[in-house]
Structure 1
Amino acid sequence: MREWNGLKSHLNRQIVLASASPRRRELLGLLGLDFVVEDSGVLEETDPAESPAESAARLARQKAEAVTSRFPDALVLGADTVVVIGREILGKPVDREDARRMLRLLRNRWHFVITGLALIDSKNGKRAVRHVETGVRMAGYSDAEIEDYVSSDEPLDKAGSYAIQGLGGRLVTRIEGCYTNVVGLPVCEVAEMLREYGVKAAAAPAPCADNAGKPCPRLE
């Protein structure tokens, strides 16, 4: 599915977001750029031989690569987010019981949210691949609070079974690092990558500060 973002562009070249995620579309829109949304169709399968960061970066690269052939002169951005606790990578829950299991596992513990990013210039093949990691501490919520949250259906399409920007924010007590990374796209890192390709994003208050109510660690 292809969609257009209607914000003012600061670049003549086309920017493509290789993702169907409405959260990533909203976050990229904070940079004030025109862009096209194109679903990559890539299956988000992790490889046990890879580290979580390697998996996230590989999937981001594969998503961007899958879209570049459809846009011969564009900057294509791919992203993939994984939630990691101990040695386990938490994807999207398969059902409500799986969501309950994940939330019990995360309870009163630190975990890490890792987003892989890949930016490819489809005209010349130039690419940049990196990842961003944020630490998240969950509260000591009760089983009843888990049940209330799962019944909202919010966790069912979220990696790790929670959405920090929604009702799931009540389950989080602290974050270390980029807030928008936990939502699904580290906006400051993306802006820096685009600048390296000659794209100047619109000047705006730090999205992390806007959303989390505290200074963005990248801009302090």
Structure 2
Amino acid sequence: MDMEEHYKIEYGLFLNNNLASISKETYKSILDPEKQPIKLAQFRDEGFYSNKTPLTFDMNWLKHLDNISISAIDIKDTECLSEIQITGKWAPFTLTITNVDLAMIQEQKLYGLHYGFNVYPKGRRYNPAQPTINFDSDLMPKAYEQSLLLTDKHTGKWVDNFKKGLSKVYLTYPTLEKDVLDIYLISYERILPLWMGRVKLPNELREKVRIRNQLYNY
């Protein structure tokens, strides 16, 4: 995924597998029932983790996330604000990202979001992995503030993402065309990428994103 996940795996913070065996895992295989629960070293202090008291998470439910929808949000003076929902017929939870400006996302640059309200994104290039804040969250109008929430699919109630082993979401466009959006779900303490989905932008929204990014000459 990026250098942060690479060195955390290399340093042995993912306790189920050694470095050689995890390199053979895929987004599908790592969610297999026989490989649950996933064991991750527990965060103790900045830069320090303990493998003596690992945290365990059953991530098998992620394999049921098979439906991604993108809807435009009608807010004055904006064109590319959207809501992204990730769920599935058999998924117990729904992940919702609101007020994400699809025109701010760049190709092959990870746009990272933490869970909660008024979350501000950080851009992280694949190489080198230097985070840069794209905007100051305190200066964002209330109507534009982003949120990233995990909720119970049946009751709509908030679910603690940390107890479900999730800490962050990455968004990116794989190509300059900006017609397909890649979405990554990252584990507790950003140790392991666990799930990846790809969705086509609705045609009208795609054109607005392209115009905002000056991909046309007219």
On whether the aligned pair clears a TM of 0.5, the verdict is no
Higher relative helix content: 1
Q: TM-score normalised to the size of structure 2?
A: 0.28
Q: TM-score normalised to the size of structure 1?
A: 0.28
